[in-house]
Amino acid sequence: MRLKFLLKIILIMLFISCAGSDSSESTSINSPVIINNNASSTTSSSTTSSSTTTVPAEFDRGAMLTFWADKIIIPSLESFNESLFQLLEATNSFIDNPDQEKLSQLREKWLISYKSWQFVEMFDIGKAEEIYFKNRLNLYPVNRDRVDSNIDSGSYDLDKAENFTSQGFAAIDYLLFGIGENDDSIVSKYLVSDSSHSKYLKDVVSKAVELTNIVKVDWEEGYRNTFVELTDNTATSSINKLTNDFIFYYEKGFRANKIGIPAGVFSGSPLPDRVEAYYGRVYSRALAIEAANAVDNFFNGRSYSDNEDVGLSLKSYLDFVEGDGVSSKLSDEIDAQIAASIESIGSLKQNFVDQVNENNIEMLKTYDVIQAGVVMLKVDMLQKLNISVDYVDADGD
């Protein structure tokens, strides 16, 4: 027995010494024996390589999900829902008795609701994902021809995909700002009896209310619990999915749609008619700032209703995984980059159409600042959190 024991020790030591000497050699790169070293390191690392970042059991993933659901997602949906009710109310009161003043009030409610939407768009999960919530509320540019023909014919089905670009905030933007040369002519479209414009406006607003209610109710009556309970680290678990949604939103909904596409980053030349709230003209910057704030709040785990109330978040998760040993924390870099984005957006003209037409280079610089955040979130952060990207860029060769 003693011999057996000794033998084991000897062999283990022998094995370790082999592996040890190999791995120390493997620091010399590009030497002729490299593949040999490779192989040994493959052998020894194959048992451990899948766990480059072990998810620490101590981090309370469930508590983070609970905070996300109860303090961020559901409250922002409820607030957005409330803003839509007010928009609907203002719509009714405008179309009952259209005049300049009511139009202004309606536009005000539209803007409030549009800003509120910026805090909701990123949560493309559950019912929202199922019903294409974000595509139905905020696809832009609006398909103006389609809106016009829908209004003319009076026959349309807003639930059909072909009408996704003729509803939501962009369609309302067009209906409130773009269908006439000035306010008088806009109001006049709603003044005619049985105005088809009035009908379309009301249908579009009502549809937004209906869809939002579906998503909100689903969260409140069941999905919340499902969401909170899926705490593991798999492609379908809540943290992985929502983190992906968050980064996808940052990259597409925020970076590309609001800044990159109008600045011509993907097209070669600027496309000013692609800005958000194009017809309202002066709201594009304000909406982009709200979106950046939403990103900031989610990353940092700030409660929707009270930004002082801070819970577990991607930031604290990252800090936990990184530990105290790091000289500079990735979460600090990300925070600094988000802050720089907000500052850069703030330095632009309030009307991105003017910005793109008059000084696109500044728009491109803002894009650069936001883009730097994509690399931090999508590559550095996901690597540390051991989460895979669940969407592929459409940039194949």
Partner 1 sequence: MRNMTIMLISILTFLNCTKTEEVIVKEYVDFPVEVQVEKIVTNTVTETVNVLFPPEDYGFTRKGKSTVFYTGQTTRLDQATELKKDMNDAASTKTLLDNMFNNGTGFTDSSLDGSKKCGNKTAASPIASATVKPLFDSWITEFAEVVAPAVNSGTTASAGVAGLYTESDGSREVKINGKGFEFNQIFSKGLIGALQVDQIINQYLSVGKLDSGTAREDNDNGVYGYALPGETELTITKMEHYWDEGFGYLQGLDNQFVPGLAAEGDRAHLNYYLNKINSQGNEDGITKKIYDAFTLGRAAIVAKDYDERDKQAAIVAAELSKVIGYKAFYYIEKGSTSIAAGKWAAAHHALSEAYGFILGMQFTKAADGEPYMTNGEVNTMLDALAAGNGFWDRTPAELDDMAAQLKAATGLSSP
Given the rule CB under 8 A, which residues bind partner 1? 2-4, 6-8, 10-11, 14-15, 17-18, 21, 29-30, 32, 34-36, 38-43, 45-46, 49, 260, 263-266, 268-269, 360-361, 364-365, 367-368, 371-372, 374-375, 378-379, 383, 388-393, 395, 397
Q: Give least dist CB 360 to partner 1, A.
A: 7
Q: In the complex, what is the shortest distance from the CB of residue 328 to partner 1, in angstroms, rounded to a whole number?
A: 14
Say if residues 222 and 126 touch (Cβ distance below 8 Å).
Answer: no
* Alpha-carbon distances of 381 from 55, 206, 244, 334, 384, rounded to whole Å: 13, 40, 11, 9, 5
| CB of residue 5 to partner 1, shortest distance in Å | 9
C-beta closer to partner 1: residue 90 or 377 = 377
CA–CA dist 143, 171 (Å, integer): 8
Q: How far is the CB of 364 from partner 1 (least distance, A)?
A: 4
Classify 392 in phi/psi space as left (phi over 0), alpha (psi -120 to 50) or beta.
Answer: beta
Q: Which is nearer to partner 1, 10 or 339 (CB)?
A: 10
- Nearest approach, Cβ of 389 to partner 1 (angstroms)? 6
Q: Which helix (H) or strand (E) holds 207?
A: helix 196-218
Shortest distance (Å) from residue 4 CB to partner 1: 5
What's the CA gap between 303 and 68, in Å, rounded?
8
Q: Name the strand (E) or helix (H) holding 10.
A: helix 2-25
In this complex, which beta carbon is closest to partner 1, that of residue 253 or of residue 260? 260
Helix (H) or strand (E) holding 4: helix 2-25
Residue whose C-alpha is closest to residue 15's, from 26, 7, 25, 3: 7
Question: Shortest distance, CB of residue 367 to partner 1, whole angstroms?
Answer: 5
Query: Mapping DSSP to helix (H, G, I), strand (E, B) and coil, where does residue 81 land?
Result: helix
Measured from the Cβ of residue 138, the count of other Cβ atoms closer than 10 Å reads: 22
- Return all residues near 200 (Cβ < 8 A) that are at least 6 apart: 147, 150, 151, 175
| Token code pair at residue 240 | 């992985």
Beta carbon of residue 298, minimum distance to partner 1 (angstroms, whole number): 21
Q: Which is nearer to partner 1, 40 or 105 (CB)?
A: 40
Integer Cα distance of 211 and 159 in angstroms: 10
Closer to partner 1 at the Cβ: 7 or 336? Answer: 7
In terms of CB distance, is 169 or 367 closer to partner 1?
367
Nearer to partner 1, 266 or 307 (CB): 266
Q: Give the torsion sign (CA, 47, 49, 52, 57).
A: negative
Of the pair 4, 160, the CB lying nearest partner 1 is at 4
